[in-house]
Amino acid sequence: MKRVSLIPYVCGAGASTPGAEQGSLYCRAHGLSEKLATLGIDTVWAVDPDSHWNGPYGRLAHENIPERGSAERQEIVGWHLQTLAENVMAELNRGHRAVTLGGDHSMAAGSIAGAKAALGPDARLGLIWVDAHPDLHTYHTSASKALHGMPLGTLTGLDQTLAIGEQFGVTLKPEDIVYIGLRDIDDAERENARSLGLNLHTLEEIRERGVASVVQDAAIELSACCTHIILSIDVDGFDPDLAPATGTRVSNGLMYEEILPVLAGIVRTHSVPLIEIVEFNPTLPGAEKTFDLIVRMLGELLPR
Ligand SMILES: [Mn+2]
């Protein structure tokens, strides 16, 4: 059985609403690893989130956050992305499964780059992206300049806003991306998707066919061409009743039973080296409820 490394991303500077930087700190302080141990799941914190929180890009940087779109703000996110990529690479290289805990969704540009670097040039990564938002902006198309709206803009090669060092150069093929949960899409993102030949099916559309069967079919298609599947789960993909403590809530989200069993089946039957859970903002109301969802999700996703 693969051991699981918990890897924190102690950064919320990619989001407009402050607080996501504290997500992994909350998970650690509230005993995520211990709770998973009671379910028979062996995890270890690869990095102490406090060490990042107490560093120059942690609490100090977040308490005096530079404005969105500034080079200073980008520098904070850049440090965290680089560090996350290195940590994911190191944990995969020692044979562990990586679970990254956010932090805002800009982190996907670091975690996925790190996974690609560890898995090597022959690896082709399929991505299941659970989210209310496609996060497919470029710096140019984003009105808010919030970096958490851009990870897939960078990972599909539309621009380089969240790109890190050469070692981590990575491009996902648009056809290897599966979106589940979309309900808030900007026109510019639709345009970007069109330019990539990528379909942005909304959750409402997917529900017509049944979420589980859409995800199941998508996994079968991915496994025909991809060597690995990555799960990137933004808690705002879920209904706000289940995950209230997140910065950009959108109503009518995924219900637990609609999506978790099928994702757990994918983890059991495919190579899933990286699972990430993002946009938990424990400074917002409903932190406890949202943390419970995260524990329950990881308890079901991670094999015993
Ligand atoms: Mn997101």
Q: Tell me the HSE value of 16 on the side-chain side, using a 13 A CA sphere.
A: 10
Euclidean distance between CA atoms 26 and 282, whole angstroms: 7
Residues 6+ apart with CB under 8 A from 20: 11, 12, 102, 103, 104, 246, 247, 278, 279, 280, 281
Distance 63 CA to ligand 1 centre (A): 23
Distance 11 CA to ligand 1 centre (A): 14
pTM above 0.95, yes or no: yes
pLDDT digit string (tens) for 208-259? 999 999 999 999 999 999 999 999 999 999 999 999 999 999 999 999 999 9
Question: How many domains does the structure of the chain reveal?
Answer: 1
Distance 209 CA to ligand 1 centre (A): 23
Distance 34 CA to ligand 1 centre (A): 27
- Mean model confidence pLDDT for the chain: 97
pLDDT digit string (tens) for 17-46? 999 999 999 999 999 999 999 999 999 999
Distance 251 CA to ligand 1 centre (A): 15
Distance 270 CA to ligand 1 centre (A): 23
Distance 234 CA to ligand 1 centre (A): 5
Local confidence band at 169 (pLDDT 50, 70, 90 cut-offs): confident
Distance 135 CA to ligand 1 centre (A): 6
Distance 22 CA to ligand 1 centre (A): 16
- CATH number of 173's domain: 3.40.800.10
Distance 111 CA to ligand 1 centre (A): 14
pLDDT digit string (tens) for 97-110? 999 999 999 999 99
- Return the higher-pLDDT residue of 140 and 304: 140
Q: Which domain holds residue 56?
A: 4-301
